[in-house]
Amino acid sequence: MAATTATSLTLSKPSSLPFNHTHAFPKTPSTLPTLLRSAVKPLFLVSSKNPLSDVISLPAAEDSAWDDEKPREECGVVGIYGDPEASRLCYLALHALQHRGQEGAGIVTVHNDVLQSITGVGLVSDVFNESKLDQLPGSLAIGHVRYSTAGQSMLKNVQPFVAGYRFGSVGVAHNGNLVNYRALRSDLEDSGSIFNTTSDTEVVLHLIATSKHRPFILRIVDACEKLKGAYSLVFVTEDKLVAVRDPFGFRPLVMGRRSNGAVVFASETCALDLIEATYEREVFPGEVLVVDKNGVQSLCLMSHPQPKQCIFEHIYFALPNSVVFGRSVYESRRRFGEILATESPVDCDVVIAVPDSGVVAALGYAAKAGVPFQQGLIRSHYVGRTFIEPSQKIRDFGVKLKLSPVRAVLEGKRVVVVDDSIVRGTTSSKIVRLLKEAGAKEVHMRIASPPIIGSCYYGVDTPSTEELISNRMSVEEIRNFIGSDSLAFLPFDSLQKLLGSESPNFCYACFSGNYPVEPTELKVKKVGDFVDDGLNGSLDSIGGGWVQANRKQIEIGS
């Protein structure tokens, strides 16, 4: 990545965080410890499991992948400082975060002041093996698992990214989505920057390289002050691990510590559990945490407004055994089910779930309703995203590959089926049909979230607003479309009541259409890759990667 000359930028004076257990950096830059070496070091070594031409083939047909109906989290990040087996621990932590991204994985370690990187397309276990991890020695590492939307997932877009500039080298892994990516990239290109990927994360590296501030930590602060949207970032330099969370705290990022003193950052606490790191706290919204030989230091990135944490982490993205935003995901989902049973009861014989994300809510529903919970749908975990359909068309082929109904549970029964959400409605209609064909007398759908009426711009892959069935139809019209005997969603006001005093700290844009950070650009980058992943032509010519922003949003955000 070429470093370019840019106009000097004014850095607002960092303020101390209001937390007793953190220590703010001195406000005078000259008193800060030296964070960057003046001499240019060997930059970085990059290895990959796959050639650049390797791609992930995504199914083209609507029926071909059941999971495509669900909103998808873009990725998960890990950072480890101070453990001699950092790369192996990073590998294990990424396994725990595999649900956050299945199409690419990467690890960067530091050894003898050189950043070494291995990335690949596929699952963590596809990308890494014993010999690969042997190539990543060192006690400092960051890692990333990635999900991309439809199109081609090219290896060059798999993180962490590593770049060299005149003061050394830096690696970064990012969870989130920048709503001002296009404007930032355009400004940087006008100044001479050359981009190698179509990822908004690369913008962060360019902003760091072109910053006039010293030392390196203030370059990060300077860069992040220009970003709008969602970002939980982990950086690595020759001797430091840095974690940053955006001022609204859209995406989760937690800190833990192993018994040997090693500091760990991860998107979810389930990653800490696997590598036996004790959860200490969240990275606060608007905070920069720096870990080096001097310990852990905290710097306030910028003034942080009311937090707007993604409520869908508790509805769908996070694993049930995680603690996200200080709340147990399992307990949240169980309470969602209890609320549905209380506010939308129905006479039934059995409660089942759409696995896996609907299971805990279904358990809550069944316990509250006093009706047995049973496994009426069995999910296959061995079906990939690419498969061959027989020449003779099989109805609901994609759903049948993933879900198998249990006739002994369903036949002649009045069935309540609990799912986490309805997006387009096509998969829900197929599930209802599947259950009735297996002998269910009645099928009552209960959805453990409010209706989704708005697209997300903060790191969640959701369809355009026009494709969201709840934005086009009433609940009764949706019930008729999917063919269920009844349908009920988790009431929005009941969700907020459950969260209590913490309710204002969550983002509900997908349910309300009210965006904490309004997209101000005419087009907003869709999460993941552009369909055309090449470098030819202007951004306008890259098809499929941008979704039209709502005109009302543009006016509000202008």
Kindly name the residue from 75, 90, 224, 270 that is annotated as catalytic.
Answer: 75
Strands ordered across the beta sheet of 442-447: 350-353, 414-419, 442-447, 486-489
Q: Given the structure tokens 């506010």, which residue do they identify?
A: 343
The token pair that represents 92 in the structure block: 């294990």
How would residue 197 be classed by pLDDT, with cut points 50, 70 and 90? confident
Task: Convert the pLDDT of each residue in 54-94 to its tens digit.
Answer: 333 333 333 344 444 665 556 899 999 999 999 999 999 99
Residue 551 pLDDT greater than 50, yes or no:
no
- 348 counts as catalytic: no
Using DSSP bridges, classify how beta strands 442-447 and 486-489 pair: parallel, antiparallel or unpaired. parallel
pLDDT of residue 448: 97
How would residue 319 be classed by pLDDT, with cut points 50, 70 and 90? very high
pTM (2 decimals)? 0.80
Residue 549 pLDDT greater than 50, yes or no:
no
Residue 270 annotated as lining a ligand binding site: no
Calculate mean pLDDT across residues 36-64.
37
Residue 419 annotated as lining a ligand binding site: yes
Residue 522 pLDDT greater than 90, yes or no:
no
Residue 224 annotated as lining a ligand binding site: no
How many Cβ atoms sit within 10 Å of the Cβ of residue 95? Answer: 18
Residue (of 474, 446, 469, 456) closest to 528 by Cα position: 456
Calculate mean pLDDT across residues 213-233.
89
pLDDT of residue 20: 34
Q: Which domains, ranges and CATH numbers included, belong to the chain? A: 70-304 (3.60.20.10), 328-380+393-503 (3.40.50.2020)
Q: How far apart are the C-alpha atoms of 334 and 361, rounded to whole Å?
A: 5
Angle between helices 201-210 and 216-224 (to 10 degrees): 130
Q: How far apart are the C-alpha atoms of 268 and 88, rounded to whole Å?
A: 18
pLDDT of residue 388: 63
Query: 3-class secondary structure for 262-331?
Result: CEEEECCHHHHHHCCEEEEEECCCCEEEEEECCEEEEEECCCCCCCCEECHHHHHHCCCCCEECCEEHHH
CA torsion sign for 515, 520, 523, 526 is negative
How would residue 520 be classed by pLDDT, with cut points 50, 70 and 90? low
Residue 420 annotated as lining a ligand binding site: yes
E strands, 399-475, are: 403-405, 414-419, 442-447, 460-461
Task: Convert the pLDDT of each residue in 125-154 to its tens digit.
Answer: 999 999 999 999 999 999 999 876 333 446
pLDDT of residue 69: 61
